[in-house]
Amino acid sequence: MRNRTISPVTRIVGVGAVGLSLGFGLYALGSVQAASLSGVPVSRGTVVKTVYLAGTVTSPEEVSVSYTGRPTVVTNLAVHVGQTVSAGTVLATLANGQTLTSPMNGTVVASSLAVGQLLPNSASTSTSGGGGGRFGRGNFGGQTVSTTATAQSITIANPQDIEVTANASELDIPAIQTGQSVTLIFPGEPDLRYTGTVSAVSRSPVAGSASGVVSYPVTIHLNTTHQPLPYLGMSAAVAIQAQKETGLVVPIDAVHAKGTGWVVTRPGGTQVPVTLGLVGINHVVVTRGLTPGEMILAPSNSTGQHAVTVMWRITPGSFSSGG
């Protein structure tokens, strides 16, 4: 993701660019070198913990229509991908006289049917449970309406009613809750930054999660006021603001381990025990031990500006509570 300005300083880490865990942060805290130290002021600021996900533009109003009656063939395909249809529009005609019709107003977004094709085959005989959603689903006289596309179906969606869906790993999901703020960038609209909120977090894992890592679906409501609607199927870079803490902020490499705790060093050499709050990439919130405006020592290349917001990603090794 590209940098944006949040007064006075903001640093946003690109998607997948940083793998930072609390363990890594604590290692960095213990690695301060005695040479080339300079004084930096203790100031108030905010550390934001952000979970980065890869998402896709979808529509909550999307169904697939297929045939599950006695074997027959397609004699006429009446629609094409991109065509606008109304509820009741004939999508295809079959040799047995059966027609497949659209159950809703929308746009044809996918079709796997062709004239002369035998229906159904073994991949298209599953049926959906009836009812639910914004329109009826189920088996209607050999026509099946389902929210899951089959190998032989026509998919209809409402491109004006969109959302973004993403899968969060089992390591990320504890930190994600409904109502959290989201920033999104779409490669198809690279100059625009969209906002949204987490509208749903599923506790049912995604089937077939890869590499042994369990993933869970996350749904994001997209705010498209005064901005063009992204197209269905577009990919999205998703940044969910999972946690934020405001308080006294110091450079992370000004803090180092001593015994079982943490200390910072004043210019005169005195070490001051501190209690830490949220740990970011370059800065950490100090909840006890320091006062605003006092000087502490940090390596000369540390960023000492006040009111710094740091975004980082939870990765394996981070605390399970998300704090």
Clarify whether residues 226 and 255 are in a common domain: no
State the residue range of the domain holding 30: 9-49+244-312
Here the tokens at position 163 are 């959302």
Clarify whether residues 171 and 253 are in a common domain: no
Q: Give the HSE-up count for residue 277: Cα atoms under 13 Å, Cβ half-sphere.
A: 23
Q: Write down which residue in 157, 172, 196 finishes a domain.
A: 157
Residue 33 CA: distances (Å) to CA of 36, 250, 254, 294, 297: 8, 16, 10, 21, 11
Q: What integer pLDDT is reported at residue 120 of this predicted model?
A: 84
CB within 8 Å of 207: residues ≥ 6 apart = none
Clarify whether residues 139 and 78 are in a common domain: yes
Q: What integer pLDDT is reported at residue 208 of this predicted model?
A: 66
Distance CA(104)–CA(262), nearest Å, equals: 61
Q: Write down which residue in 193, 223, 242 finishes a domain.
A: 242
Q: What integer pLDDT is reported at residue 50 of this predicted model?
A: 87
User: Nearest-CA neighbor of 40 among 252, 311, 195, 262?
Assistant: 252
Distance CA(136)–CA(203), nearest Å, equals: 25
Residue 275 lies in a domain: yes
Q: What integer pLDDT is reported at residue 17 of this predicted model?
A: 30
* Start-to-end Cα distance in the chain: 24
Clarify whether residues 259 and 201 are in a common domain: no
Clarify whether residues 265 and 222 are in a common domain: no
Q: What integer pLDDT is reported at residue 282 of this predicted model?
A: 84
164 membership: H or E segment, kind and range: strand 163-169
Here the tokens at position 160 are 């004006």
**Residue found under tokens 């399970």:** 320
Clarify whether residues 193 and 224 are in a common domain: yes
Residue 126 CA: distances (Å) to CA of 65, 122, 149, 157, 165: 12, 8, 10, 20, 24
Q: What integer pLDDT is reported at residue 322 of this predicted model?
A: 36
Tens digit of pLDDT at every position of the chain (323 positions): 343 332 222 232 332 333 333 333 343 444 444 448 889 999 999 988 889 999 999 999 999 999 988 899 999 999 999 999 999 999 999 999 999 999 999 999 999 999 999 998 643 333 333 333 344 444 445 677 776 666 789 999 999 899 999 999 998 899 899 999 999 999 888 888 999 999 999 999 987 666 678 999 999 999 988 888 898 989 999 999 988 899 999 999 999 999 999 999 999 899 999 999 998 778 899 999 999 999 999 987 665 444 333 333 333 333 333 33
Q: How many structural domains comprise the chain? A: 3
Q: What integer pLDDT is reported at residue 314 of this predicted model?
A: 36
Q: Write down which residue in 242, 275, 304 finishes a domain.
A: 242
Clarify whether residues 115 and 72 are in a common domain: yes
Residue 148 lies in a domain: yes
Residue 131 lies in a domain: yes
Here the tokens at position 284 are 């950490």
Clarify whether residues 141 and 207 are in a common domain: no
Residue 323 lies in a domain: no
Clarify whether residues 197 and 283 are in a common domain: no
- Could you tell me the CATH number of the domain that includes residue 269? 2.40.420.20
Distance CA(2)–CA(114), nearest Å, equals: 44
- Could you tell me the CATH number of the domain that includes residue 111? 2.40.50.100
